[in-house]
Every structure is written in structure tokens, then in C-alpha cells.
Structure 1
Amino acid sequence: MHEADHDAEALAARFERDRPRLRAVAYRMLGSLSEAEDAVQEAWIRLHRTGGRELRDVSAWLTTVVGRVCLDMLRSRAARREEPLDVHVPDPVITGETAPEEHAVLADSVGLALLVVLDRLAPPERVAFVLHDLFAVPFDAIAPVVDRTPAATRQLASRARKRVRGEGPAPETDLARRRQVVEAFLAAARAGDLDGLVAVLDPDVVMRVDAGPEAAGVSRLVHGAGQVAGEAVQFRAAAPFARVVLVNGAPGLMTAPHGDPLSVIDFTVRDGLVVEINLIADRARLRDLGLPGGLDAPQA
């Protein structure tokens, strides 16, 4: 084998070791699995062009490249986006009860509720927050990515942090308790039990329904336990096909009669009550995300 071929193979192997982490960085920045893959692939193309020569820390270099690519993608998205942000739900990572390692890397500590908040940040704020607060990249390294001084970059991350904290206390960390709440919600929805639904909902619960860009009239925000329970009762016909799955590492619901995904529901639970629901009913997008097996049979 020629030395150049050996170097190319070594560089590719080096990149593959970093790929899961880079995908995790890009997913948190973009909230889109397909765009995250595109950003990671662009980082590989740029690394391949350099040949890896004169790079003292390949991992750090790749992280900053992914940051720059994601910043450009966020700015482009903001310029062309027409749908209201309050009814856009980022891509979920959907797995069965035991998440494959690759998906676990993506889902760890990044619920859909957090990604919804990050969607409201200015692109430089989001990039600074994700790189520093979620991946411990120093501000000196982030500053060139967002074209700011380190001090200004620190302020970007600080503003983003305040927005995130301003959304309220963190969700429950007890996954077993969260599952119990989700199962109670599902049981009440199957029974058409309005009172049972209200009992598991916070009085000020918010439900975000994202039916996709072609269904602007269907996508909406629903406020209050009574209104959300009323919406959930209408879910009764499809409820027998619902299953508890892991949505970004936490218990949620997926409805897929005959293997055709209809909806994914993500729950934020605090103090034993549902405070936020993010529902994706964009069937085309759900098909593109892939579907765990064994979800197509109704449950008695």
C-alpha cells in the first residue's frame, strides 16, 4: 500500500471515531437529523481536502468546522423560513425501550422541549450555547466561529442560557415516573376519559402540534389542561395503535397503524404532571426518520 493511501485510510478512520460526537453537536445546533448528517459530511469533505496535515487537534478542528457549517445553515434557514416557529417541532430521535448506542449519543440530555427553545435563539447564540454549555468548548475557540471576540461570545452564550433557564425548571429525571405519567395519559385517551386526562395535565400545559409545512391550518398551539384534554380525546380512534417509545431518550408515544407513522408525541413532565406536549403529525417527515419495528399492531 502506498504511503498516501495509508494516510488517507488513517484519516478516514480518525474521522469515523469523531462522527458520533460531531453528529450530536450538529443535531443540537440544527434540530434536524438530515441536516446534521449534511453538516458532518461537509466537515469530512473539508478535512479530506486538508489531508489532515498541520492539524494539531483534529477533533477540535472538526468541531469548529461543524459549528461554522451549522451557523451558515441556521442563518439560511432563518432567511427562508415562513412557518411560525411556535408550531415547529424539531426532529425526534425515536427508539424502542433500549436505545442503540448511536441514538443514545444523540438523545442524551437533549429533549425536544430544549430543542424548541433553542430554535428561538439567534443563530450565533445557539451555536455559542451548544458548543460551550453542552460540549465544553472554550470561548476562545468559539469566537472565530461566530465572528466575535471571546468576551462577546461569552455574552452570546449567557443570553442563550437565560432564555433556556427562563423556560422553567428542568423536567423530571426519574424515567420510570415519567413513563407512568405517559401511560396514564395513553390509558385515559384510549378510554375517552376527559377527567383522567385533566388529572395528569398541569393546569397551564401547552401542546404544540406540528403537522408540517403543508398543513399550516392544522399546526397550532393549544393552551390549558381542558383544551389539551379535549384535543387528546379526539386521539381515541388512533390510540389503540400507540406505543410507548423513547423520544430523545425519554418516554413518549408513537402511533403507527399498519407500520405507517401517524404521530410522535413528546412529553415534558414536572412534579408528576405534563407541562408541555410536542406532537409531530407530519407523516412525510416521520417516514423519513425511520420507524422502530413492532409498532404496527393495536394493543388491547
Structure 2
Amino acid sequence: MMAAVDFEEHRPALLGLAYRLLGSMWDAEDVVQEAWLRWQGADRSEIREPRAFLVTVVSRLALDQLRSARVRRESYTGPWLPEPVLSAETGPLDTAELRDTLSYATMHLMERLSPPERAVFVLREAFELPYDQIAGIVGVSVANSRQLHHRAGTRLAEGRERFSPSAEEHGRLLGRFLEAAHGGDFDALAGLLSDDVTTWNDGGGKVRAALRPIVGKRKVAAFLRGLITRYPLPEARLVEVNGGPGALIWVGRRPEQLIALDVRDGLIHGIYAVLNPDKLDRFRRAETRLSGDL
């Protein structure tokens, strides 16, 4: 009984850790379930710090899974985007680092990193582990763990601002984007885009979506104009996704698309459109639960 109590105390943080490493809550849940089985089978009289033990197990399981997942993603149809999640599902967000490493833009950027770089970055930035503990988890020297952290930070810094916009600023820009798109005000829409804006559309081969990223203000504006002209944007529901604002578009009782933005210097630098129904099923189930509670 105490084993379950101890594990459940750490489960939210373990889910958040596994999700940050894998970009998929489905996979994160599998990893945490496997960690529970190992926790049940462990000699807990030998474990002085349950949290350290569980973080190590989850990190190593996630690392193994991430290596195989990267191979699968190479054959994915179109751009692969992380599975978006409701912020409440990912454990504590009580530090800026926990929130930043969960943000959709950062999760997408972390796909640039090697599995060891990603593990070191998340363990250091979000969970504030010392380098010697990280080195033991990842299986590298302390000096190498420092180097991996520096390399990961440098690679991620190339694609994001040092100071992220507040949730209020981000939300306002998302609202203006949706208002312009819904009203067909294409001049206003174009005015919200940075010159080097990129849009990614993840249909996973299951629904129609652009198969390559679209880059540049002129091309993205033309793409959005064509899309909205042909498929007028329905009303969107604002949700807190990955620790920040997102827009969930419903058709009937089915979520059709989730839109998240990368905002820099007051303009939209990235548009992430998740259309793969498998990655939106969690939102449908959440809505079904809420409807059942009414």
C-alpha cells in the first residue's frame, strides 16, 4: 500500500518528465506505467530517495524509447509535431523553467536535439538536477553532461527569445490572429506575421495537410488566404495547452485542429497546426468527461 502512495505522490512530475523527453503523452504514460512495475518489484529498503530512483528509471526508459521513436518519425507523413496536452495533465508548473520546457514552441525545438542532449537539458533546466546525478542517469561523465547541456542550450537559443512573452501577450496575439482569420481580414492577418514566419501542419497522413513546412511571410500569408477562403475558420475555443494559450477548433463534437503559436517580438514567428486526429483524441475525451459532469 505504501508503495502505491509513494509512487502516486511523484506520478504527476514523472509524467511531465517523460512527456518533455518524448513529445507524446501516450508514450509518456506507457513509460510511467513501466516505472510503476519496476517500483513494485524493487527492494525499497535499498532506496534512500524514491524521487531520485523514479526519475532515473523514467529518464532511462524514455531515452530508450526516444531513440526508437526518432527512427519512426523519419518515416512520418509530413511534419511531425508533438502531441499537444492540456497543461493540467503535465504535473507542476510552478517555476518558469518547468513552464518554458513545456511550451509548445520549445517542445518542437527540442526535436533538434539528440536524445542525450534532450535528457540533460530537461533534467537540468526543468528539474534542477545536479550534473553528477544527470551524468549517472544518462551514462556520461560529469564533464560531458555539462557539455551536452551547453550544446543543447546553444542549439535551442538559436530558435527562441531569451525572454518569452507573457501568457497575456501571447493570448492577445492569438486572439487577434483568430479574429482576422475568422473575419477573412487577410491584411490584418499578414500584419501579424514576422518576415521569417514558418507554419507546420501535422496531419500524420490521416487528414489532408501540407506535407512540408511553409516558410516566409508572403508564402504563409498566401497559404492562409487560400485555406481560409476554401475552408472558413469555425469558431475556435481557447484552451491552455502546454502551459500557454492555444486554440482548439471543433466541428460538431469532434476536435478538428489545434493551433499553437510561437510569438517573438510581438509577431507570430511560428504556427503549429495539429490535425492528426490521434493527437487530438485526448481533447475529445476531456470534453466528453466534462459533458458527462454537467
TM-score (norm 2): 0.87
Q: What does residue 25 of structure 2 align with?
A: 33
Give 1:241 shift. Answer: 3.0
Give 1:225 shift. Answer: 1.9
1:127-276 aligned within 5 A: 127-170=119-162, 172-214=164-206, 218-233=210-225, 234-235=227-228, 237-276=231-270
Q: What does residue 297 of structure 1 align with?
A: none
Alpha-carbon distance in structure 1 between the residues aligned to 2:190 and 2:3:
56
Q: What does residue 125 of structure 1 align with?
A: 117
1:275-286 aligned within 5 A: 275-286=269-280
Q: Is the 8 A contact 2:12 2:90 kept in 1?
A: no
* Change beyond 3 A, Cα 1:46–1:39: same
Give 1:44 shift. Answer: 1.0
TM-score (norm 1): 0.86
Alpha-carbon distance in structure 1 between the residues aligned to 2:189 and 2:63:
41
What SS does the corresponding residue of 2:74 show, helix, strand or coil? coil
Query: When the two structures are aligned, how many residues end up with a matched partner?
Result: 281
Letter paired with 1:241 = E
Give 1:274 shift. Answer: 0.7
Alpha-carbon distance in structure 2 between the residues aligned to 1:252 and 1:171:
19
Deviates further, 143-152 or 69-78 = 143-152
Alpha-carbon distance in structure 1 between the residues aligned to 2:185 and 2:113:
38
Q: Is the 8 A contact 1:89 1:112 kept in 2?
A: no
Q: Is the 8 A contact 1:171 1:268 kept in 2?
A: no
What SS does the corresponding residue of 2:4 show, helix, strand or coil? helix
Alpha-carbon distance in structure 2 between the residues aligned to 1:14 and 1:145:
21
Deviates further, 109-118 or 169-178 = 169-178
Q: Is the 8 A contact 1:210 1:220 kept in 2?
A: no
2:53 to 44, 61, 64: 61
Kindly provide the CA deviation profile for residues 253-278 of structure 1, in whole angstroms up to 9, marking residues without a partner as x: 11111121111010111222111111
Q: Is the 8 A contact 1:83 1:216 kept in 2?
A: no
Q: What does residue 292 of structure 2 align with?
A: none
Letter paired with 1:282 = N
Q: Is the 8 A contact 2:254 2:284 kept in 1?
A: no
What SS does the corresponding residue of 1:278 show, helix, strand or coil? strand
1:75-154 aligned within 5 A: 75-83=67-75, 87-94=79-86, 100=88, 102-103=89-90, 105=92, 108-109=99-100, 110-154=102-146
Please list every run of 5 or more consecutive structure 2 residues that lacks an aligned counterpart in the other structure: 289-294
Q: Is the 8 A contact 1:211 1:282 kept in 2?
A: yes
Letter paired with 2:141 = T
**1:13 equivalenced with 2:13 (yes/no):** no
Alpha-carbon distance in structure 2 between the residues aligned to 1:169 and 1:291:
34
**Identity across matched positions, percent:** 36
Q: Is the 8 A contact 2:78 2:201 kept in 1?
A: no
